[in-house]
Amino acid sequence: MENNEAEQLVKEFKEIPPMPNVMMKALEVIRNPYTGIQELATIMSVDQAISAKTLSLVNSAYYGFRQQITSINKAVVLLGMMKAKNIIMSLAMRQMMTTQGSRELWEHSIRCAIASEYLAAQFKFINPDDAFVIGFLHDIGKILLAQKDAAKYSKVKYIAQQNNQSLIELENTFFQANHCELGALVAKKWQLPVILINCIKYHHNPSLSSLPAACGIVYIADRLVQAQVGDEILEPEIMERLPMRISDPVGLREQLISKTNIFLKEISAN
């Protein structure tokens, strides 16, 4: 699909949701080279839910810090700016993803973020902190489809799952658009980096991307953390065109699911 055709299409959808305020502030702070940990800690402290959940996460087995951490300042120092920002993002996007998408979408996004971060650290094609952001936002286009017609989109997802059909093809048939194209437009509207827009657009077909290694990380992460997997977790015809090999997808999937369960438990608790 041509770019302007896709943009025309997005006009037919409801307005692209604005980025949540706290996430916008966190991104501004990170982009500005003169701001420090203190500013980020201040943003986190203002939001009670974010600060409480960040503290419970840094005190959990997920990070495994030895000492008890009771202040947000200390938590941000120990985590570092980028990891702190990724926690802000996971929490700040929760409301938008669950109300305009679904709870499953939010959980799946977190699982994919953690898996992408892990794979990026293993394969070293992209920075693991960037991989977290890409993994987290990869399915953001689903929000637009759910906004357009929630009942119809639930039906499309149900058909795809029951018949093991391609979700993208069904989206194209029922909506004349798919979540990859729409997600890339959301990322563009939010002025996110090009690598992110590209990976969102091609996460189901990484070999078509101009950045196949980066997209491949998100493709693999996405497949490994799916709630339901068929016999073929990773599609051989896609994997053979990617520059990385996964020798034991079943074992890796188990490992990643238990890792993501700890993270989700801490940030889902009230």
List residues binding Fe ion (CB under 5 A): 139, 222
**Please, what is the minimum distance in Å from the beta carbon of residue 135 to Fe ion?**
9
By beta-carbon proximity to Fe ion, the closer residue of 4 and 237 is 237
By beta-carbon proximity to Fe ion, the closer residue of 39 and 222 is 222
Six-digit token pair at 19? 């980025």
**Please, what is the minimum distance in Å from the beta carbon of residue 138 to Fe ion?**
6
Identify the CA nearest to 134 among candidates 187, 196, 206. 196
**Please, what is the minimum distance in Å from the beta carbon of residue 15 to Fe ion?**
22
By beta-carbon proximity to Fe ion, the closer residue of 130 and 222 is 222
What is the CB neighbour count within 10 angstroms for residue 32?
10
Question: HEC states along the chain?
Answer: CCHHHHHHHHHHCCCCCCCCHHHHHHHHHHHCCCCCHHHHHHHHHHCHHHHHHHHHHHCCCCCCCCCCCCCHHHHHHHHCHHHHHHHHHHHHCHHHHHHHCCHHHHHHHHHHHHHHHHHHHHHCCCCHHHHHHHHHHCCCHHHHHHHHCHHHHHHHHHHHHHHCCCHHHHHHHHHCCCHHHHHHHHHHHCCCCHHHHHHHHCCCCHHHCCCHHHHHHHHHHHHHCCCCCCCCCCCHHHHCCCCCCCCCHHHHHHHHHHHHHHHHHHHHCC
**Please, what is the minimum distance in Å from the beta carbon of residue 203 to Fe ion?**
6
**Please, what is the minimum distance in Å from the beta carbon of residue 142 to Fe ion?**
7
State how far the Cα of 33 lies from the Cα of 74, in Å rounded to an integer: 20
**Please, what is the minimum distance in Å from the beta carbon of residue 225 to Fe ion?**
8
Torsion sign across C-alpha atoms 17, 105, 98, 213: negative
By beta-carbon proximity to Fe ion, the closer residue of 36 and 152 is 152
By beta-carbon proximity to Fe ion, the closer residue of 117 and 139 is 139
By beta-carbon proximity to Fe ion, the closer residue of 44 and 137 is 137
By beta-carbon proximity to Fe ion, the closer residue of 222 and 266 is 222
**Please, what is the minimum distance in Å from the beta carbon of residue 94 to Fe ion?**
17
